Structure 1
Amino acid sequence: MAVFVRVANTGSLTRAARELKLSQPSVSRIVGTLEARLGTTLLLRTTRSISLTDAGALYLDRAKRLLAEMEEAEQATRGVDSLHGVIRLAMPVAYGTRAVIPVLPTFLARHSDLKVELVMSDARQNLITDGVDLAIRINVGPLDGSGFGVRKLALVERLVMAAPAYLVAHGMPATPSDLAKHDCILQHGSFGGESWRFTHNKTVTSVDVQPRFWINSAPGVLAATVAGLGIALGTRVMAGEELRTGQLTQLLQPYRLDPAEVYAVLPAGPRPSAKVRAILDHLAASIGAMTSG
């Protein structure tokens, strides 16, 4: 059952074999034996990919629950100090790089038998099909869990920024309405879109910006802004180092943007395992202390 779950999560017999320290033929044989015992096909195999059948998807959900309960029972017997196994974390690239990875060493030092697999992408993963134990997501306003477990971790300041070279060439916007005359950089699918909402003296102003560049990742937005390609909307965590070193300048400081909220999202289903609860508590304490405000 554990071998089947690993194959389904990775989508690869070869990768599952490597992670389980087994040979690929052994993994294939184990899954085949399971299918024969159940009397149904769980995985559709081609030379290039592996996908779940309907029966496989149903069995995967139940198998994960059973394995989680077994692991919970074992860990309860051994105690929390002997947590072991792999935790699969999904998160946005820039936030993961600058806020999550720096707080992981202290956690892993306390739990030497744990391993962490990071899935870093600015596209939102499907927690179930991608086998994610815990996802970090950033949103403006409350996040709809849609049946998932959601825990708020922190608030992050949002700001408007540009490189000094861009400002020398194009001028400094004095009010949000000035942004309509500037080249702006947008991240596909990120909060804000083409309408940026500011608050000043309790007055709310929304400005439709004119994007000249669209980029699908936060690091790309950051690099393009530092290169002087335009004005961008970002977060203090994303651009803190560049702002401190003068590579970027914060604009329109009297005008405030609603902060971004950082959430931990857990897959729907049984109570999370002890190892997932442990890293969630660590992230809540560490990220909250580092990035809130």
Structure 2
Amino acid sequence: MSDRWQEMTVFVRVADSGNLSRAARELNLSQPSVSRIIGALEARLGTTLLLRTTRSISLTEAGSLYLERARYLLAEMEEAEQAARGIDSLHGVVRLAMPVLYGTRAVIPALATFLPRHPELRVEIVMSDARQNLIADGVDIAIRLGVGLLDDSAFGARKLAFVERLVVAAPAYLLAFSAPDNPADLARHSCIVQHGLFGRESWRFTHDQTVTSVDVQAKLWINSAPGVLAAAVAGLGIALATRVMAGEELRTGQLIQLLQPYRLDPAEVYAVFPAGPRPSAKVRAVVDHLEVALNTPS
């Protein structure tokens, strides 16, 4: 790699991660080497690109301008190299973030037909139901799942799929408490609410073109989808789930779908690109595959 391309690559990685040590690890360089490369870049340009303190790194105005162009040029270089190699020779690393349960039951199985076709490509998966700092974590693609929750306007994004949402409860809960006949009945039930993805105490239903919103009694708040599912199976209350997430439990009778004539707004599945709206060829290849796979019935 030429000195200028290396400087550009190192600068972009430092700017995206906000941390010299993390950038050094991701680039397989030492931290002193990263500092030296950034210093040489600034000296050659005759301007300061990064403001460094003991705790953080931030961009100067010149740094922000350089970052925008550097990303574009690096993407162009990757496009040129990929065109020469061909789509069947994707290589390098794609760091993919996703929510735990949807990732486990939908995204990871979808990769089973993709990765064998690209043996030189490595995917690093980060799973969390918490809203992550995608830039600091060096994420290339984040799978986001929710209803009207795409608020990272500075990022690029692409809608991949819609997922049906359901109201579910365990047979044990329904033995102890009669099943709700309509959404208004939910107000007298114990409900399970997840922080973040569907963490709302107002559930909105549509029936015969009539929209009804119900303020449920959230007796249990949980910060992960697996926790919500486990609590529902244990009979602790009524929960919202997607058909993808709760499909196995519904098939085996551990959970029962309630209020079937009433429809909830579907969850939207997005691929989010922290580096901007023009992702690299390997990122686009992963997302193209997921868009098809996530919309193909299993």
- Is the structural similarity TM-score above 0.5? yes
Matches for 1:15-26 after TM superposition, within 5 Å: 15-26=22-33
TM-superposed CA distance for 1:231, in Å, is 1.0
The residue number in structure 1 matching 2:113 is 106
Aligned to 1:211: 218
Once the two structures are superposed, the pairs formed by residues 1-293 of structure 1 within 5 Å of their partners are 1-38=8-45, 39-40=47-48, 42-46=50-54, 49-55=55-61, 56-125=63-132, 130-140=137-147, 146=153, 148-191=155-198, 193-267=200-274, 269=276, 271-290=278-297
- Kept after mapping to 1: 8 A contact 2:193/2:218: yes
CA RMSD, aligned part only?
A: 2.7
Say which SS state the counterpart of residue 5 (structure 1) adopts: helix
Deviation at 1:268, TM superposition (A): 7.0
- Could you say what secondary structure the match of 1:288 adopts? coil
- State the number of aligned residues: 289
Counterparts in 2 of 1:44 and 1:144: CA distance versus 1, 3 Å: closer
From the superposition, tell whether residues 132 and 106 of structure 1 become closer, same or farther in structure 2 (CA, over 3 Å): same
**Which moves more between the two structures, 114-123 or 139-148?**
139-148
Compared CA separation, residues 9 and 268, structure 1 to 2 (3 A): closer
Structure 1's 59 and 88: CA in aligned 2 closer, same or farther, altered over 3 A?
Answer: farther
CA contact (8 A) 2:17 2:135 kept: no
Normalised to the residue count of structure 2, the TM-score between the two structures is 0.84
State the alpha-carbon separation in 2 of the partners of residues 218 and 143 from structure 1: 18
Distance 2:156 2:22 in 1: 29
Gaps spanning 5+ residues in structure 2: where?
1-7
The percent of aligned pairs where both chains have the same amino acid is 74
Instruction: Give the Å deviation of 1:289.
Output: 0.6
Q: Cα–Cα, structure 1 residues 133 and 28, in superposed 2: closer, same or farther, change >3 Å?
A: same
Residue 65 of structure 1 contacts residue 269 of structure 1 at CA under 8 Å; is this kept in 2?
no
SS at match of 2:42: helix
Q: 1:221-264 CA distances to partner (integer Å, 9 max, x unpaired)?
A: 22222232211111111111222222222212222222222222
Q: TM-score under structure 1 normalisation?
A: 0.85
Quick one: distance in 2 between partners of 1:108 and 1:150? 22
Whole-Å separation in 2 of the counterparts to 1:16 and 1:219: 32
